[in-house]
A = this chain, B = another copy of it.
Amino acid sequence: MNQPLSPDPTLRHRSHEVTLTLRRPDGSACADTDVFVEQTRHAFAFGNIGFDFIGLANADTAESPGAVFGGADPEAAERLVDLWLDVFNTATLPFYWSGFEPVRGEPLTERTLTAARWFRDRGVSLKGHPLAWHTLAPTWLLDASTAEVEQVLRARIRREVAAFGGLVDTWDAINELVIMPVFDNEEQQNAITRLCRQLGRIPMARLAFEEARAADPGVRLVLNDFNMSTAYECLIEGVLEAGIRVDAIGLQSHMHQGYWGEERTLEVLERFARYGLPLHLSETTLLSGDLMPAEIEDLNDHQVPSWPSTPEGEERQADELVRHYRTLLSHPSVEAITYWGLTDLGSWLGAPAGLVRADGTPKPAYEALHRLVKQEWWMEPTHLRTDSEGRVKVRGWAGNYRLSVQSATATFDLGPDSSRADVTVAP
């Protein structure tokens, strides 16, 4: 087992230094020259769901078919675009099977590809969620034999991963595997639980990871769960011991019942960092209104007619969000945080979980997160000067940078492996 990493509240592990040697296209050094450096992107994945923008990307009108995933209507989404892009660099796209393929053989591939390209064109990385999951499995699968369910699931995984090759670079290969074979929903039976119960959890994980990997060896595959208990540890150990290659461990953290706090958050991170794999906080929610009662076990069971965002709730949400992001970034194993929703409009369970109110105005939590991501953790645009050999030292947050020398520009990256680099500036 790899040596686990330890948290560092100074975030020293998130910034890096590089010595660049600047040259002109003819190879001559840009000696004793003024340089202007700007950060353009975080390496850290500040994610959010991209569900709201599928209709917008597809130029839906109110009458358009296929707006199956809830969220903001295209008109409202239009007003959210800048807010989203100002903070986030990674979008989770929905591949819930029953919604993605409501009629067998008619997946919403084109519609979702259009949304994926819309994000890609705006510099956003993409994650697909999820390839295998019992919840929201299609009802048309219920009549199939278990052998057929397996074959159809395998084919669906290959199909989605192949179709989104070059666009979606990270997938939740399998979601909520801890509960999958014992998931009990009398009203809504599903064929995936039946398959998992027959195969066992680890063969089920192998199925999902191996099909996805075969369809695109370059993608990053995540094992994702809401279960933060020892059960998930035991499952992870079994999956890894079985030789299944997992690229990251996904930890859901829908905090509808209250903020975890620093202590619990670090305890969870420490336990799951033990496996030496990157951690993705894949589904993060903090409410700006009443909390859900603690006795609710399945969050889906809490149905209230109205769940407003309140002024006190918004202050609390902002405070907790800052504390949570600080805690998560302090742990070197964490490489992604996906907040679950930008707006309260059409949010999961109707909860005031967004960073933006239903009327489109930002809550304090949005402003606070923007300050962290684009000020405190962002290199201020900086004027530097090269030495007599064209060298300049840059220190900043892991990410992508642009530099300009007079009217010429170039790009470079800062990361754990960068220490020196040659950069050619060109007009």
Contact = CB atoms under 8 A, between A and B. Distances in A.
Given A230-B179, A230-B231, A231-B231, A237 B1 contact: no
A277 interface: no
A241 B200 CA distance: 9
Contacts of A217: none
Given A1-B198, A1-B199, A238-B238, 13 more contacts: A182-B271, A197-B274, A201-B233, A201-B237, A202-B241, A231-B231, A231-B233, A234-B234, A234-B235, A238-B239, A241-B241, A241-B242, A242-B242
Given A230-B231, A231-B229, A242-B242, A237 B202 contact: yes
A203 interface: yes
A240 B241 CA distance: 11
A136 to B, nearest CB: 21
Interface in A203-249: 203, 227, 229-235, 237-242
Nearest to A271: B182
Nearest to A202: B241
A245 to B, nearest CB: 15
A274 B182 CA distance: 11
A8 to B, nearest CB: 22
Most buried by B among A200, A202, A238: A238
A178 interface: yes
Most buried by B among A182, A227, A232, A237: A237
B178 A234 contact: yes
Nearest to A229: B231
A241 B179 CA distance: 18
Nearest to A198: B1
A231 B200 CA distance: 14
23 contacts: A1-B200, A178-B234, A182-B233, A197-B274, A200-B240, A201-B233, A202-B241, A229-B229, A229-B230, A229-B231, A231-B231, A231-B234, A232-B234, A234-B234, A234-B235, A234-B238, A235-B237, A235-B238, A237-B238, A238-B241, A241-B241, A241-B242, A242-B242
Interface footprint category on A = 20 to 34
Copies of this chain per assembly? 2
Contacts of A203: 241
Interface in A267-325: 271, 274
Contacts of A274: 197
Contacts of A240: 200
A45 to B, nearest CB: 28
Contacts of A197: 274
A131 to B, nearest CB: 20
Contact of A178 (B182, B202, B230, B241): B230
Contacts of A238: 202, 234-235, 237-239, 241-242
A21 to B, nearest CB: 44
Contacts of A201: 233-234, 237
Contacts of A241: 200, 202-203, 238, 241-242
Contacts of A178: 230, 234
A408 B343 CA distance: 89
A230 B183 CA distance: 11
Most buried by B among A198, A199, A230, A240: A230
Given A230-B182, A231-B231, A200 B271 contact: no
Contacts of A232: 234
Contacts of A233: 182, 201, 231
Question: Nearest 9 pairs between A and B by C-beta?
Answer: A238-B238, A231-B231, A234-B234, A234-B235, A202-B241, A230-B231, A241-B242, A201-B237, A231-B234
Contact of A237 (B179, B200, B227): B200
